Copies of this chain bind each other. A is one copy, B any other.
């Protein structure tokens, strides 16, 4: 049994806690978290995404299909059972809590690491056993060598990038507060704060945000963050905005001191402890964060910048495609030139991804990757969220297909692109599936729809080609994308099922940027995905209403070696040729010589 688990249980007994709930979350409901928050790994040894439920005798880790094999290995002899979520007979974490909780028992969890809605559900689980919840950071109490909270310089995003001053954004949010009758407004979602204040940081890998809470009033605001991360310039910038800088952890006391007011917040995006800290005299107005809706509608400056970012990004990925297409010699072995570019003798999922990152770094204004690159060769690509590791880093060969899903953070915006590259001979079936994925992506990009539609109303444009053949892909077709912020952003999305939270099914608005990424995954064989980002824009206004359409932002060839033109509709072929013509126009100025020749061929017009 792992020593950390033994110590945690000792602590649980000392504190009178019967069951301990440990999610892999930070205090801001962020998708990715910093080292400080890797409590699950500390206790269990498991390095993926999962949630721990620890009782005094039994303990379990809840994780999904992406991590079954890895978790089984990493949990080995840890004393923690693996719960394969979604498999038949596997309980939900909350039901498992009920199983472990004795009558009148105590359920412990760090109330900062669960959102208020989740916290209330844990409360209900405890209530069922006539027990109670204890909001405490039990892991912190035993984790002596815990990494410090992330700290990085906070910097101002200039208006030539943001397109709207923080003053103006604050005024818009304050007018929403007035409409809702709210004197106070708490925002704890990091990308919402970064957007609102036109500030960026580097506290979370791939997300240029900084740990903070924001408490807004009509006349001023309080930013709770690490003061050491703010230099003279950002401090006076904040002062100019009427924003007082306070210590990060002070937010709970500040919230607790408020009386007899109205507070706008989103319970699904604010942590349990913070909401619980509010005095009973405070009236909570639980509404979706106004910043999330406003942020998702990119302004003209952002859109113009994003187009530039996508050309840069397209150039980098296209160079990578060229590299991959020429990495192997006639003898089937990796060329001398390719070795030099890679800086190593082996072309593997990881060395390839690293080379792609270097190509992105050559682009002006590139800051970092926008998420961990999915670099997956052959059967590995059948796992939609696969990421190579030192333990599993497959070598690429001049056969089959290679999938690379990657993106960059640029001053001009955030990118996210997937291309599947044909590395050598592929089967009939592979070519048919590659073509279907391409058709689906192009058809959704060609959709036209009435304003008021949510993504569910148009998802069929992408799915039809799969469903007609009894195929499907088990992930959303599209997600919103931030501007130099999170690569996954609410509320716009494209999927075929309506989700309970309305902020996951936002009405599609002109100025939204989202992905269009159908795929197909054949277990043990291969995976194909083609992803472009699209901009939602107005197409036409007439007596029927306002019609919207998409424009492709991503500028990079789709590998024609995977395409079987004969099974495409005429209109699909038109769309493909049209797209490739635009790609060539936009990125060819950055290519020369053999690369340019190749690009010309890679974007050639095809016909039946």
Q: Which chain B positions have C-beta within 8 A of A459?
A: 457, 460
From B450, B468, B505, B544, give the contact of A498 (CB < 8 A).
B505
Q: Which chain B positions have C-beta within 8 A of A540?
A: 470
Query: A467, B449: Cβ atoms under 8 Å?
Result: yes
- Chain B: minimal CB distance from A269 (Å): 22
List A residues 488-506 near B (Cβ within 8 Å): 496-498, 505
Interface flags for A364-380 (1: CB within 8 Å of B; 0: not) read: 00000000000000000
Q: Which chain B positions have C-beta within 8 A of A547?
A: 467, 470
Query: A450, B472: Cβ atoms under 8 Å?
Result: yes
Given known pairs A454-B498, A460-B458, A496-B453, the reply for A472 and B544 (CB within 8 Å) is yes
Given known pairs A460-B460, A464-B461, A472-B545, the reply for A452 and B498 (CB within 8 Å) is no
Query: B497, A498: Cβ atoms under 8 Å?
Result: no
Given known pairs A498-B505, A545-B472, the reply for A448 and B467 (CB within 8 Å) is yes
Flag whether A456 is at the interface (Cβ < 8 A). yes
Q: How far is the CA of A87 from the CA of B8 in the complex (A)?
A: 65
Query: B497, A452: Cβ atoms under 8 Å?
Result: yes
Query: B544, A457: Cβ atoms under 8 Å?
Result: no
Q: How far is the CA of A431 from the CA of B544 in the complex (A)?
A: 20
From B448, B452, B460, B471, give the contact of A461 (CB < 8 A).
B460
Flag whether A542 is at the interface (Cβ < 8 A). yes
Q: How far is the CA of A449 from the CA of B460 in the complex (A)?
A: 9
Query: A470, B542: Cβ atoms under 8 Å?
Result: yes
Q: How far is the CA of A448 from the CA of B464 in the complex (A)?
A: 7
Flag whether A232 is at the interface (Cβ < 8 A). no
Flag whether A569 is at the interface (Cβ < 8 A). yes
Q: How far is the CA of A454 from the CA of B505 in the complex (A)?
A: 14
Query: B450, A467: Cβ atoms under 8 Å?
Result: yes
Interface flags for A446-485 (1: CB within 8 Å of B; 0: not) read: 0111101110111111011001101110100000000000
| Beta-carbon nearest neighbor of A496 in chain B | B457
- Chain B: minimal CB distance from A449 (Å): 6
Q: Which chain B positions have C-beta within 8 A of A467?
A: 447-450, 547
- Chain B: minimal CB distance from A569 (Å): 7
Q: How far is the CA of A109 from the CA of B306 in the complex (A)?
A: 58
Query: B448, A497: Cβ atoms under 8 Å?
Result: no
Q: Which of A454, A458, A542 has the most CB of B within 10 A?
A: A458
- Chain B: minimal CB distance from A515 (Å): 18
- For this complex, 15 residue pairs linking A to B, each with C-beta atoms less than 8 Å apart, are A447-B460, A448-B468, A449-B463, A450-B467, A454-B498, A456-B456, A456-B457, A457-B460, A457-B497, A459-B460, A460-B460, A460-B461, A467-B547, A472-B544, A474-B544
A residues adjacent to B (C-beta < 8 A):
447-450, 452-454, 456-461, 463-464, 467-468, 470-472, 474, 496-498, 505, 539-540, 542, 544-545, 547, 569
